[in-house]
Amino acid sequence: MRAAVAIESLKDNPYFAERVKEIADEVTYLPARPDHDELRDLLGQYDLLVIGARERITAGMLRDAPVRTRIVGTLSVGTDHLDLPALKEAGIYVERCPTANVRSVAEHALALLFALSKELKWGDRLVADGKSRSGLPSLPFELSGRTLGLIGYGNIGSTLGTLAAALGMRVVATSRTRQDGGDGEVAFGTLEHILSESHLVSISVPLTQETRGLVNSTTLASLRAGAILVNTSRAEVVDEQAVRAALDSGRLAGYGGDYDHADPDLTERPNVLITPHVAGITVESNDRLDNELIDRLVAHLKG
């Protein structure tokens, strides 16, 4: 089996570098991330491709040239950069890393909630401008005793819920499988109910046709006035125009996100904090991602 690894730094992970030899006779580490045409060519040359979330595989790429690849491993939790139906139709199996960066993303979401509730960005600007705390639009508040609404209760949402409960927060959540009842300290409800109950809301759902634009002007109308919203999912889960309108009206007191290419009208606001899609990338999660992916690839190929 011939394998191509689109992330050259993986060769510096001894565990990955050794384990990949268990399933591939030849391993090529690419010196640069492939563009569209290069990736299309790789699909015709290698049995196994290891890529990241930057590399998009489309139906057109699979249709336009002969395809040799039988398995794709993506160094990510999400798979929205891959046309999964087209890959399945082409007979290509996809493996990902569902748990490796869960803790990192959950902590990052909590950090955004802390930063926005404590007015950290606003306060930093005041000091930089030589002004005092009297310039804050409102006093910071404590998270303890507040209600956190989790949109999505998978690995990341449930981990964040545990952290929030330890801080003394009440936790409510939406789930694909439950709309009522509870799970320990977490109570489930509909999206509208969660939004109306929560002082702070965190989104942790994959990007699918169902979740694209999930948070929009209609859903935000159910939001508790003055709430804080944090999105560590893909940017497209949230309608940024609706978020701007909610910030302008005061329905949203603050907004945080973790994705590239945010609207400058958002990033320039002192009550908005956007980080560059780094929530899942920490010292600890990097090795876990590499190791989880290769373990899952080896397990699949060895049956």
Type and span of the H or E element at 104: helix 102-117
2-100+283-301 against 102-275: fold identical: yes
183 and 157 Cβ atoms separated by less than 8 Å: no
CATH architecture of the domain formed by 102-275: 3-Layer(aba) Sandwich (3.40)
Place of tokens 């009440």: 170
Q: Which CATH class is domain 2-100+283-301?
A: alpha beta
* Predicted local confidence at residue 86, as pLDDT: 96
Q: Structural domain boundaries of the chain?
A: 2-100+283-301, 102-275
* Predicted local confidence at residue 52, as pLDDT: 93
For 184: left if phi > 0, alpha if psi spans -120 to 50, otherwise beta; the answer is: left
* Predicted local confidence at residue 22, as pLDDT: 96
* Predicted local confidence at residue 12, as pLDDT: 94
Q: Within 10 Å of residue 85's Cβ, how many Cβ atoms?
A: 9
Block means of pLDDT (10 residues each) for the chain, length 303 residues? Answer: 95 96 96 95 97 94 92 93 96 95 97 97 93 91 97 95 97 84 84 95 93 95 96 95 96 95 91 95 91 97 88
Q: Choose among 7, 20, 157, 2: nearest CA to 75.
A: 7
Q: How far apart are CA 47 and CA 148, in angstroms?
A: 45
CB neighbours of 74 closer than 8 A, spacing ≥ 6?
Answer: 50, 51, 52, 53, 55, 81, 82, 94, 95, 96, 97, 293
* Predicted local confidence at residue 169, as pLDDT: 97
Encode pLDDT of 46-56 as tens digits: 999 999 989 99
43 and 67 Cβ atoms separated by less than 8 Å: yes
Between the alpha carbon of residue 27 and those of residues 11, 44, 49, the distances in Å are 10, 15, 10
* Predicted local confidence at residue 287, as pLDDT: 85
* Predicted local confidence at residue 261, as pLDDT: 86
Quick check: pTM over 0.85? Answer: yes
